[in-house]
Structure 1
Amino acid sequence: MNDTASYALIILCTSAVGLIALLANRLTERLKIPTPLLVLAGGALAANVLPALQPPPERTVERIITIALVLVLFDGGMHIGWSRFRESAVPIVSAGVLGTFLTAVGAAVMLHLAFGIDWYLAILVATAVAPTDPAVVFSVLGRREIAGRSGTILEGESGANDPVGIALMSSLLAAGALSVAGFVSVGVTFLLQMVVGAVIGLIGGKALLVFVRRVPLPSEGLYPLRTLAVSLMLYGVTTLAHGSGFLAVFVAGIVIGDARAPYKQEVARFHAALAGLAEIVAFAVLGLTVDLHVVARPDVWIPGLVLGGVLAVVIRPLAVGASLAPVRLQRNERTFVLFAGLKGAVPILLGEFLRIAGVPQAERLYGIVVVVVAFSVLVQGGSVPLVARLLRLPMSNTDPEPWVVGVRLRDEPSGVRRLTVAPGSTADGMTVESLGDRAGDIWVSIVVRASGLVAVRADTELLADDVVVVLAEPELYASLDELFCPTTKERRQ
């Protein structure tokens, strides 16, 4: 077989694996097993069954996962947006920073007392398993979306605790041991990374927003590539400035998330697709690094299972519960947030850091981290839909809407509002004509009901959950919001 045929075979196999991973999303809707776990398990089995399939070098793994994490965090920040983040900033920061520290402390104490692992190594493993991954939560929930602030808190917590966990792990490995001087060094390094990352992310996000608004490009296909290039630049600049590049891209994504910009929907779809691809690649590559013979050792899987269970039912509820104590949340929302802290790619990446650094018992510690992640995703994650139902969380179905109706405009439109008729609101049951009489000089241009268009006439009646596009002057926005939002009575219920 010549070089061209060999390369074609590699492309064929790689694309086939990618297609299978994408189609696995349909399987997870029935089995309630997140796609990341299937990809991770597939990679591990392939690496252990096929001798010719060698694990990639450790530095290569680190670099691939770093790029994947940058893409996932930037998209995650865009999905949250500034308005949602502002409403839940306190619980996000509290759970993402303080909750991560308390979780790491609790896990380290448990590993040292229960299994006799050296304090320094116990803290390293505990730091690795502290971060969470909301993508795993939403994967098992399928097409159902959680209402209220709990979904935003879970997303924001993961976006915050991923950089926190990575910065903390880097600082601990740089310190090399536990000592007073080491703790001071860890604290200073960690604080520097967080502050520099947040500042550069905020400034960079605002600069990116100005850039995309004021500097046009000749083709719409270039706009997503520009945001991709800038997000990677932000990571590089922040890292060179000794800050957390991961935090910088997450903050930048939040800044531009719900801001108006040209080709915004195209940019958002591009980054969502890229983040999905990055997640598949990350778990496939990490799966190749898992040695099932090591994982099968009793001194690996027993501590891993015990730690995974204790994290789920004791350590995380206590640690994150304490960090969220001052925050006002409904009891069912609080309980769900405390339970749904599932693990993902970042803990395994941090476990890979231990192998790269050559710490004692690195293979065993890495195997423990892998077992914790597998337990969290399979056992804890598999019960997330049931827990959501038992807690009676308000949820809504998010069916795919592949068809778009819209127009292209050369200049930025003004006076256009997209509103949803809330059940029990004043607009619920009103006709288009009476809505105009109540709101003032407005024009109802589009009404979408159950994913279909409704002819707009004076006697067209608006129903709950209708999506309405309205042309109105900015001074009428407040009165429109009052008409479409739930009434005071409904909100109290």
Structure 2
Amino acid sequence: MIHEILLSNQFIFVVALLLITSVIVTKFSTRLGVPSLVLFIFVGMLTGSDGLNIFYFDNASVAQLIGVIALVIILFEGGLNTEWKTIKPILPSALSLATIGVIVTALVLAVAAKFILDITWLQGLLIGSIVGSTDAAAVFAVLKDKNIKGNLKSTLEAESGSNDPMAMFLTLSVIQLMTQEQSGVVSLIWTFFWQMGIGLLFGLIVGKLGSFSLNRINLDSGGLYLLYALAFAFLAYSVTSLVDASGLLAVYITALIIGNSDLAYRHSIMRFNEGFSWMAQIIMFLILGLFVFPSQLFQWQYVFNGLLISAILIFIARPAAVFFILMKSQYNVKEKCFLSWAGLRGAVPIVLAIFPMLADVKDSQVMFNMVFFVVLTSTLVQGSTITYLAAKLGLEGEAREKPAHSLELISMGKTNSEMIEYDVTEKNIINGKSLEELAFPDSALVNAIIRDGEVVTPNGQTVIKEDDVLYILVSRKHKKQLISALKAEA
């Protein structure tokens, strides 16, 4: 018994060191211009059986489970931070890239894999399907805080958040064709519409239910709202998956609805999910790194073939999909080139590459090694050059300096009060008025004003100016009335 307790303590100690190392790695990745997820994978590979031999891990089922759970958390965080008004104008283009674009990419890669690897057409199509989609974890992580032109950043985020269901559908369909002869084209078409349609429907239902419930329920501690919000992500995925529909699509739609709702404890929920998403990414990529055996991966045939397929993916397959889908869109040639280059691959293809192993598909380990190498090189080359390419093509967005300020609230418990943060614009009717002139509800109290990065202590004679950030404490029953007064225009 004492031996087992000692082993458990040693395991916890090593996990703590891995997490600390991985967090520190993110700091160096920014300076080196390398996506942090690549470094997480290297940390996992270093500590695995082919490295320092601290951990031995080869359980495909556990790796797949951890990967899916992490993807739910990452997609939910990405959807919460996606503003509907920014993706609405580009939604047709993003959805086209997320569906038809994935198919085009998969077909081009299938042809390449067939002749480069000397495999069957179905095996080639399986590899193409696995790496056919861009990756939400990679795109959200690499583009976060990057100064990229707004419509391009929104297109990439919307595409990566919504194309995982298509990649999973194609992957599972090809595996079904390889393992069950009775599967037919009509059956696959019906499965596609069922998965996407039900995924969309359940995402809408759970999203509406979540936003309504979060605003109506009165919990004893503000911290419980954070867990309550995340629970709806897992509810959306599990309920949808139980009826053989797209759980990942349901999660993203749920997050979009909740994130764009008038939400109680919004900032706390956002910050919690951002941190939890980082932890999910770290754990997922560490596990995937442990799952890889470098002595098998970095063999000459894998390196050479992987580089060939990566080059075809980066320079032929992805550009072909982007230029074909967006040939009649509002994007110019430079923007299409950037969208082609920024189609990052990451965790999703690696997680999908585990599915053939679980289904006992022939040569599944070879496919996994190939997919892993393709993803690694694609992410390393493209992810580290996105900002440079945007600058060279003149596609950087307008620089916006935000004042460095924060206001943390202690849990309000059962007070039914909320702190509202509001940015004053030139058109607001409150612009230029003193606080005592404002038609705010009686329960509303302006606690602080942030002006030019400094905190202004308000009083009745304090005049509100453009670009001020107001922090207002208000009871929930008067919240809508306050927001209406804030948004009124002169």
TM-score range, shorter chain: 0.7 to 0.9
Which residue of structure 2 lines up, in the alignment, with residue 485 of structure 1?
none
Higher deviation after alignment, 396-405 or 255-264 = 396-405
The 1-side partners of 2:340 and 2:455 are apart by: 40
Letter in 1 for 2:11: I
The 2-side partners of 1:378 and 1:206 are apart by: 39
Which residue of structure 2 lines up, in the alignment, with residue 21 of structure 1?
22
Pairing 1:418–2:419 present: no
Which residue of structure 2 lines up, in the alignment, with residue 362 of structure 1?
364
Per-residue deviation, residues 262-315 of structure 1 (Å, max 9, x unmatched): 212222222221111111111111111112122222332222111112211221
Equivalent residue runs for 1:133-172 within 5 Å:
133-137=135-139, 139-140=141-142, 143-172=145-174
Q: TM-score scaled to structure 2, two decimals?
A: 0.86
Find 1:403's aligned residue among 403, 406, 411.
406
| Change beyond 3 A, Cα 1:367–1:398 | farther
Find 1:124's aligned residue among 123, 126, 133.
126
What's the offset of the Cα at 1:80? 0.8
Equivalent residue runs for 1:213-224 within 5 Å:
213-224=215-226
| Change beyond 3 A, Cα 1:171–1:412 | farther
Higher deviation after alignment, 78-87 or 5-14 = 78-87
Higher deviation after alignment, 343-352 or 213-222 = 213-222
The 2-side partners of 1:203 and 1:405 are apart by: 32
Pairing 1:315–2:317 present: yes
Mapped contact 1:131–1:347 kept (Cα < 8 A)? yes
Per-residue deviation, residues 230-252 of structure 1 (Å, max 9, x unmatched): 22122111111111111111110
Higher deviation after alignment, 110-119 or 216-225 = 110-119
Equivalent residue runs for 1:59-98 within 5 Å:
59-98=61-100
Letter in 2 for 1:191: F
Mapped contact 2:297–2:373 kept (Cα < 8 A)? yes
The 1-side partners of 2:315 and 2:204 are apart by: 36
Mapped contact 2:435–2:462 kept (Cα < 8 A)? no
Per-residue deviation, residues 22-50 of structure 1 (Å, max 9, x unmatched): 11111011101111101111212322124
Mapped contact 1:32–1:140 kept (Cα < 8 A)? no
Letter in 1 for 2:399: S
Q: Which runs of 5+ in 2 are unaligned?
A: 473-480
Which residue of structure 2 lines up, in the alignment, with residue 184 of structure 1?
186
The secondary structure found in structure 2 opposite 1:327 is coil
The 1-side partners of 2:403 and 2:7 are apart by: 39
Which residue of structure 1 lines up, in the alignment, with residue 478 of structure 2?
none
The 2-side partners of 1:230 and 1:84 are apart by: 24
The 2-side partners of 1:326 and 1:178 are apart by: 40
Higher deviation after alignment, 317-326 or 118-127 = 317-326
- Length, aligned pairs only: 471
Mapped contact 1:444–1:456 kept (Cα < 8 A)? no
The secondary structure found in structure 2 opposite 1:418 is strand
Per-residue deviation, residues 98-142 of structure 1 (Å, max 9, x unmatched): 111111111112222444331100110011111212543454456
The secondary structure found in structure 1 opposite 2:343 is coil
The 2-side partners of 1:256 and 1:299 are apart by: 47
Letter in 1 for 2:305: P
| Change beyond 3 A, Cα 1:396–1:334 | farther
Letter in 2 for 1:418: Y
Per-residue deviation, residues 64-105 of structure 1 (Å, max 9, x unmatched): 111111111111111114333433321221111111111111
| Change beyond 3 A, Cα 1:200–1:372 | same
Pairing 1:477–2:479 present: no
CA RMSD of aligned residues (A): 3.3
Mapped contact 2:403–2:452 kept (Cα < 8 A)? no
The 1-side partners of 2:253 and 2:108 are apart by: 28
Higher deviation after alignment, 118-127 or 287-296 = 287-296
| Change beyond 3 A, Cα 1:17–1:311 | same
Letter in 2 for 1:158: S
Q: Which runs of 5+ in 1 are unaligned?
A: 481-493
Letter in 2 for 1:229: A
Per-residue deviation, residues 200-245 of structure 1 (Å, max 9, x unmatched): 0111110111111222222112111112222212211111111111
| Change beyond 3 A, Cα 1:356–1:478 | same
What's the offset of the Cα at 1:194? 1.0
Per-residue deviation, residues 364-384 of structure 1 (Å, max 9, x unmatched): 211111111111111111111
Per-residue deviation, residues 141-171 of structure 1 (Å, max 9, x unmatched): 5643434121111111111111211122112
The 1-side partners of 2:126 and 2:256 are apart by: 30
Which residue of structure 2 lines up, in the alignment, with residue 344 of structure 1?
346
Per-residue deviation, residues 168-199 of structure 1 (Å, max 9, x unmatched): 21122122269895333332222211111111
Higher deviation after alignment, 83-92 or 159-168 = 83-92
Mapped contact 1:171–1:185 kept (Cα < 8 A)? no
The 2-side partners of 1:459 and 1:51 are apart by: 64
The secondary structure found in structure 2 opposite 1:432 is coil
Per-residue deviation, residues 447-466 of structure 1 (Å, max 9, x unmatched): 53453235679797957x65
Mapped contact 1:134–1:341 kept (Cα < 8 A)? no
The 1-side partners of 2:434 and 2:404 are apart by: 30
What's the offset of the Cα at 1:401? 4.4
Higher deviation after alignment, 44-53 or 359-368 = 44-53
What's the offset of the Cα at 1:329? 3.4
Q: TM-score scaled to structure 1, two decimals?
A: 0.85
* Identical positions, percent: 28
